[in-house]
Chains A and B, each alone.
Chain A
């Protein structure tokens, strides 16, 4: 079983035998992998009907729920890690969602498409068009992605919200980690992956 590179990094970050919640789990690829390879106990949360069916067919426990209506049904610290993979930008209340995730899990893993990527900047800054990329393939008028941000934006949100970043990996448009991504992540990173927790208060 091989995973997409960004999912493989998330899988690496997950502690074996831990308990996780995968928000916007899609068809449950990540959870299926984690359950068999790492003995993880996990639940997916998904709103889209066909994906719920696909996850069930895969044998993944999946809860059909709208993330925009909050995570109230999940108790404080009821899982080790909450994952939000390429979904933050589609949520109505990204900051509230992040804080809710940090209430439910000890640690959160968040990944999102970086709007600071040079290709997006080129499209907006030079061509004067709203960016469309591999990870953001939608037209501006027909996109679920309503809260796009850059790496700097996200890190500023974390700083202002008492969220501590434990680890960051930035992948380029070929989903690879290169020296350029490390040097200028906000320019060359297409997908950003973060491990975060709440800072001591």
Chain B
């Protein structure tokens, strides 16, 4: 709980919702009969409506990017370090919007929502959604808010994939694209991690084919395992060594049993069990599939430069040295493709020890690069 809200925070925020009643045609070929988006905004939209920046969240993220929902909140939004008055993403200059994507479980329509045809939760009858579908819903939101063109679209990890999709699907609707710790497609290893996570969930006896809602239970063990696996891959070897080493819990001697001995075990178990309380297992399945499917170059015979050829945005691509889930090499591929098709692109490779999670941290060079770029965007827009 914050005793008082820090001066550089956006403070208390209230999520908003908007419902679109027209059916949404999805990439998988099915229609979603209308949908709801939950979103938050920070800062003020200017009279010309030219200072809006869309933020795209990652797998377990949501619309709550900054600030607090109440004075009882333990933690602020997920991008609090970088988003706020005077911060790298400066709410005194820009108007930020972050929407929970569909298929998730944080207020936008997803597998835990009620299927209007049956009156029961969708479960695995929910249609498969993709990055492309998310971008489409975000464009609907932009229309709803009267924003014809984003000053920038910014996102990390899976959010960065949405940013790239934006530049391809609506090239004239954004001026700048900031792609952080992302990849133009997942590697086999990355898909493999996702599959293990999905199997952990689906083989949990409490999964009930995704209809666990009707059984008043949920696949706790499976989802918790999935989160533990995910967490290992989001941190670097070094970060884990620094944070936990081989420390035993409370400095105790080995138990010579299978209870928690090491701090790292305790940490992972806590991460797993707390995640279960705030996340829906079916959403985890859907979102990891959307990650796996993302590959915009596929429609161009694998040529990413061709996929980017008709984009109009200026790009900033950022990667982190210790990120092995979305390694700098993956970002360099994006940069190379943009260079090949003559797009304006800047690339920064940030020295960081926190692995994939670095994109959430206020690493000085990262902050400097992002501030410099968005400062330039503000100048260009006369903000």
Binding site for B on A (CB under 8 A): 19, 41, 43, 49, 52-65, 73-75, 78
Complex Cα spacing A71 to B344, Å? 18
Q: Which residues of A contact B380 (CB under 8 A)?
A: 59
Q: List 26 A-B contacts (CB under 8 A).
A: A43-B339, A49-B365, A49-B368, A52-B346, A52-B369, A53-B365, A53-B372, A55-B346, A56-B348, A56-B369, A57-B372, A57-B375, A57-B376, A58-B376, A60-B346, A61-B344, A62-B347, A63-B345, A64-B347, A64-B349, A73-B332, A73-B335, A73-B336, A74-B336, A75-B340, A78-B340
Complex Cα spacing A61 to B345, Å? 5
Q: Say whether B89 faces chain A, with CB atoms less than 8 Å apart.
A: no
- B381, chain A: closest CB distance, angstroms: 12
Binding site for A on B (CB under 8 A): 314, 316, 332, 335-336, 339-340, 342, 344-349, 365, 368-369, 372-373, 375-376, 380
Complex Cα spacing A60 to B346, Å? 8
Asked if residues A78 and B346 are in contact (CB atoms below 8 Å), the reply is: no
Complex Cα spacing A55 to B368, Å? 12
- A192, chain B: closest CB distance, angstroms: 29
Q: Which residues of B contact A43 (CB under 8 A)?
A: 339, 345
Asked if residues A59 and B376 are in contact (CB atoms below 8 Å), the reply is: yes
Closest B residue to A47 by beta carbon equals: B349
Q: Which residues of B contact A61 (CB under 8 A)?
A: 314, 344-346
Asked if residues B339 and A56 are in contact (CB atoms below 8 Å), the reply is: no
Complex Cα spacing A60 to B372, Å? 11
Q: Which residues of B contact A58 (CB under 8 A)?
A: 376
Asked if residues B335 and A19 are in contact (CB atoms below 8 Å), the reply is: no
Q: Which residues of B contact A57 (CB under 8 A)?
A: 372, 375-376
Complex Cα spacing A78 to B316, Å? 21
- A75, chain B: closest CB distance, angstroms: 6
A-B contacts, CB under 8 A, total: 54
Complex Cα spacing A39 to B221, Å? 60
Are A73 and B372 CB-contacts (below 8 A) given A61-B346, A63-B346? no
Q: Which residues of A contact B376 (CB under 8 A)?
A: 56-59
Complex Cα spacing A61 to B346, Å? 5
- A72, chain B: closest CB distance, angstroms: 9
Q: Which residues of A contact B346 (CB under 8 A)?
A: 52, 55-56, 60-63
Q: Which of A59, A60, A73 contacts B339 (CB 8 A)?
A: A73
Asked if residues A52 and B348 are in contact (CB atoms below 8 Å), the reply is: yes
- A47, chain B: closest CB distance, angstroms: 9
Complex Cα spacing A65 to B368, Å? 17
Asked if residues B347 and A63 are in contact (CB atoms below 8 Å), the reply is: yes
Q: Which residues of B contact A74 (CB under 8 A)?
A: 336, 339
- A158, chain B: closest CB distance, angstroms: 28
Q: Which of B316, B332, B335, B342 contacts A56 (CB 8 A)?
A: B316
Complex Cα spacing A41 to B314, Å? 13
- A150, chain B: closest CB distance, angstroms: 35
- B109, chain A: closest CB distance, angstroms: 38
Complex Cα spacing A43 to B342, Å? 10
Closest A residue to B315 by beta carbon equals: A61
Asked if residues B372 and A64 are in contact (CB atoms below 8 Å), the reply is: no
Complex Cα spacing A61 to B376, Å? 12
Q: Which residues of A contact B339 (CB under 8 A)?
A: 43, 63, 73-74, 78
Closest B residue to A58 by beta carbon equals: B376
Q: Which residues of B contact A62 (CB under 8 A)?
A: 346-347
Closest B residue to A60 by beta carbon equals: B346
Complex Cα spacing A49 to B321, Å? 13
Asked if residues A53 and B369 are in contact (CB atoms below 8 Å), the reply is: yes
7 closest pairs, A vs B, by CB? A57-B372, A56-B372, A73-B336, A63-B347, A53-B368, A61-B344, A53-B372
Seed contacts A59-B380, A78-B340; 13 additional CB < 8 Å A-B pairs: A19-B342, A43-B339, A49-B368, A52-B348, A53-B372, A56-B348, A56-B372, A56-B376, A61-B346, A63-B347, A73-B336, A73-B339, A75-B340
Closest A residue to B333 by beta carbon equals: A73
Q: Which residues of A contact B372 (CB under 8 A)?
A: 53-54, 56-57
- B262, chain A: closest CB distance, angstroms: 36
Q: Which residues of A contact B347 (CB under 8 A)?
A: 62-65
Complex Cα spacing A60 to B348, Å? 13
Q: Which residues of B contact A56 (CB under 8 A)?
A: 316, 346, 348, 369, 372-373, 376
- B167, chain A: closest CB distance, angstroms: 15
Asked if residues A63 and B369 are in contact (CB atoms below 8 Å), the reply is: no
Asked if residues B348 and A64 are in contact (CB atoms below 8 Å), the reply is: yes
Complex Cα spacing A62 to B380, Å? 18
Closest A residue to B370 by beta carbon equals: A56
- A28, chain B: closest CB distance, angstroms: 10
Complex Cα spacing A90 to B259, Å? 56
- B310, chain A: closest CB distance, angstroms: 17
